[in-house]
Structure formats: structure tokens, C-alpha cells
A = this chain, B = another copy of it.
Amino acid sequence: MAKRRLRLGMVGGGQGAFIGGVHRLAARMDDRYELVAGCFASTAEKSKASGIELGVDPGRTYGSFEEMATSEAGREDGIDVVSIVTPNHVHFAACFAFLEAGIPVICDKPMTTTFADAVALQALVANTGKAFVLTHNYTGYPMIRQARAMVEAGLLGKIRVVQAEYAQDWLATKIETEGLKQAEWRTDPARSGPAGSTGDIGTHAANLASFVTGLDIDELAAELSTFVEGRRLDDDCRVLLRFAEGARGMLWASQVACGNENGLKLRVYGEKGGLEWSQEDPNYLWHAPLGEPKRLITRGGAGAGPEAGRVSRIPPGHPEGYLEGFANIYSDTAELLWAKLESRDPDPATNLLPTVTDGVKGVKFIEAVVESSEHGGRWTTARI
């Protein structure tokens, strides 16, 4: 049968944006999508200009996502799925518009700016039955899949300690007032939500910890800091964690840690062994079985299992990176959508895709961190 690519629409990601281009590249990586429509900016004109650059039919570039949802839902060749890649405050309304129009959604994180919105979105997804995927893209890294599989298989035994961190330094000075668009909205409560570093990167670390261990965060005690004078949101966040089943841990997110670029690291220790992984060297996973020498498992090398292999493209020693991990989320979403289109069961690995429930947990995590910090670090529930 001849190949068909899924028709992809996009909200956000116009000229000057960062993450939109990443989503498009990720969608293109395995040749399973074709970008055919978009509301790339907040005015019709700007949206069209971006669309032309991207090779999108001007008739399918829109100035509002509501118009886009309606219009695309009405076309024979309408989009199969939409990616929402705007600043956080737009996510909720945009997701709503497309889901209500019957169009599956891929949405950036954090999912919404309030817990109430997150819960409402969760209900809508349930009601519409449409696919909804949240781009917690780091879960797409092969060695993260490997780590999860190893924990699930019991290689670490009962989990005791989880250390998660995400350290950056790009906000070490007040660049949000120097015209850097990425910094502007991320430090603006109106667009970013109630938290800064916590929402932008802390949620990734929290999500990854739960993804790999299979354990939800039950309670947390946090302290937020804003080190850069005049900044309106936290730029450093330190959290004690109580996971389900008695596991304990810590989480640190910082945007002022000089010398760190995207230092997302996860360390998991159980009764029988430990795992360590770093996003900046993503093709490696340390496994320390208790009482044996540490092993360095490489993507595709001996010791890596089918879970890693399934989301790899090239042999070990030829590094895959951030874009390939991100693409795995898109390609698994394509599988999920095709399975629906073809009325078949999807590959079970699509169960690993981040869901609207993960989105709810992420927003709850943010709110719990803020609440705990405001109350002198008291233990606060993060359960949804």
C-alpha cells in the first residue's frame, strides 16, 4: 500500500519561536507527518508569513486557533492532528478548541496554568475519546525507555531513593528585559503560570522520575527562590519528595546554575541496584547491580533491550540526540493515530506516551511546590 503521511497542523511556532521548529523537525524525522495547516502567530498576517516560509498552503494558515479548528474539522483533507506549541497560557483554550472539533492534540508542557484547567481538559479528553499526547519529550530517549524497562523488570528491586535535577544557567542574569522572547514569556506569570523554573524544567524532572520508576509523587516539601532581582517567577526550586511505596527523593531545578546548559539528570537507587542517566550524554545508562561492577549500557549495545532498540535509528556509538528523542514521541503518536484510523490495536509501546493524566500530575506538582514553599516548606500533597 502506498504510504500516506499524517496531516499535521500547528498552533504557535511562528517566526522567532523556538520549540515550534523542534516539533516540526521531530514530526519530519521518521517521515510520518506532513505540515499542512497552522495558526503560527497571533495575527493572520504574521501567521501567513510564517506559513509561506514553511511551505504551508496560504489558504490553510489562520489568524486564530478557533477559526483553524473549525475550518480544518470541516475539510475532507483536514488535519489528522494538531500540535499546540504556544506559551503555556494558550494551551488550555487551544486544546479545548481542537478536541471539541474532534481533532487529536499534541500539546507542549506544562499542560495548563491552573490545576482546574488541567482537570477540565482531562475530562474533555475522556469525553471526546480523542488522542491527547503531552510532549514530555525526554521520555522518548532510548535509554530512558531502557531504564524504565529495567525498573519494571525488577532489576533494581524495590526503589528507595530517586534524585532528579534539571540545571540551566541561561537565566543567570535578567535577560528577560533584553528582548529575548524565550525569556520574556517564561518569566511572565501571565503567560507562564504560577511558577518559573518549576514549571519550565522542574516538571520535566518530576515527570521523568515517575516515568522511569513507575511511582507517583505523593507529597513534597519545597522552597522556591528568585535569585535575579526583579524577576517575577522562581528561577531555582528545591524539593524533597515522597514517592509512592515508600521511595524518597529530591528534585532540583535551576536556571541560574552557571555552567549548566540542560543538565537534566536522573538517579534511581533500589534494593538491588542503581541507575544513572544524564540528558547531555543520553546514549549511555549506568547500571550498578549491587555487589557487581558498574556497567555502562549504550543505546543499541549489549545490555540494551528491545525497549531502547525500538526507538533507535542508528547503531550504538553513533550518537542520537534531543531531536531523535523528541521524534520518538511524534512517531509513537503517529502509530497511535494510525491504529485508530485503521481500527486496530496500536503497538503496546504507545502506552508509554505522556497522557493528559501526566499533564494533570505536572500541573499539580507545580501548584504543590508553590503552595509548600509559601507555607514554609510544609509537606503538601501532590496526588491528583
Residues of A bordering B, CB below 8 Å: 1-3, 5, 18, 21-22, 24-25, 28-31, 52-55, 156, 160-161, 163, 168-170, 172-173, 221, 223, 225, 227, 236, 238, 240, 242, 248-250, 252, 254, 256-263, 267, 269-274, 276, 279-283, 286-298, 301-303, 313-324, 376-379
Instruction: Give which listed residue, B24, B225, B249, contacts A238 with CB less than 8 A.
Output: B249
Instruction: Give which listed residue, B31, B260, B298, B302, contacts A317 with CB less than 8 A.
Output: B260
Complex: how many Å from CA A322 to CA B319?
Answer: 5
Report B-chain residues with C-beta under 8 Å of the C-beta of A260.
274, 288, 317
Cβ–Cβ contact B319 & A282, under 8 A: yes
Which chain B residue lies CB-closest to A57? Answer: B2
Complex: how many Å from CA A17 to CA B31?
Answer: 18
Which chain B residue lies CB-closest to A303? Answer: B293
Complex: how many Å from CA A257 to CA B270?
Answer: 8
Cβ–Cβ contact A248 & B256, under 8 A: no
Cβ–Cβ contact B238 & A238, under 8 A: no
Instruction: Give which listed residue, B55, B256, B263, B288, contacts A31 with CB less than 8 A.
Output: B55
Report B-chain residues with C-beta under 8 Å of the C-beta of A1.
52
7 A-B pairs with C-beta separation under 8 A: A3-B53, A161-B225, A223-B240, A261-B317, A293-B303, A318-B322, A319-B319
Q: In terms of DSSP, what is the predominant structure of the interface of chain A?
A: loop
- Contacts A29-B28, A293-B295: A274 and B223 contacting too (C-beta < 8 A)? no
Interchain nearest-CB distance for A101 vs B (Å): 27
List 19 extra interface pairs beyond A160-B225, A169-B290, A254-B269, CB under 8 A: A3-B52, A3-B53, A28-B28, A161-B254, A221-B223, A223-B248, A258-B290, A259-B276, A259-B294, A260-B274, A261-B301, A279-B317, A291-B302, A293-B301, A296-B296, A314-B323, A319-B319, A377-B377, A378-B378
Complex: how many Å from CA A161 to CA B252?
Answer: 11
Complex: how many Å from CA A271 to CA B297?
Answer: 21
- Contacts A52-B3, A53-B3, A280-B319: A238 and B227 contacting too (C-beta < 8 A)? no
Interchain nearest-CB distance for A14 vs B (Å): 15
Complex: how many Å from CA A199 to CA B28?
Answer: 33
Cβ–Cβ contact B252 & A314, under 8 A: no
Cβ–Cβ contact A293 & B298, under 8 A: yes
Cβ–Cβ contact B273 & A317, under 8 A: no
Cβ–Cβ contact B313 & A2, under 8 A: no
Complex: how many Å from CA A263 to CA B288?
Answer: 14
Report B-chain residues with C-beta under 8 Å of the C-beta of A169.
269, 274, 288, 290
Complex: how many Å from CA A188 to CA B232?
Answer: 48
Report B-chain residues with C-beta under 8 Å of the C-beta of A323.
313-314, 320, 323-324
Complex: how many Å from CA A374 to CA B291?
Answer: 33
Interchain nearest-CB distance for A265 vs B (Å): 11
Complex: how many Å from CA A238 to CA B281?
Answer: 26
Instruction: Give which listed residue, B5, B29, B294, contacts A25 with CB less than 8 A.
Output: B29
Most buried by B among A289, A296, A323: A323
Cβ–Cβ contact B236 & A248, under 8 A: yes
Cβ–Cβ contact B313 & A302, under 8 A: no
Instruction: Give which listed residue, B53, B292, B320, contacts A322 with CB less than 8 A.
Output: B320
Cβ–Cβ contact A54 & B290, under 8 A: no
Most buried by B among A170, A227, A297: A227
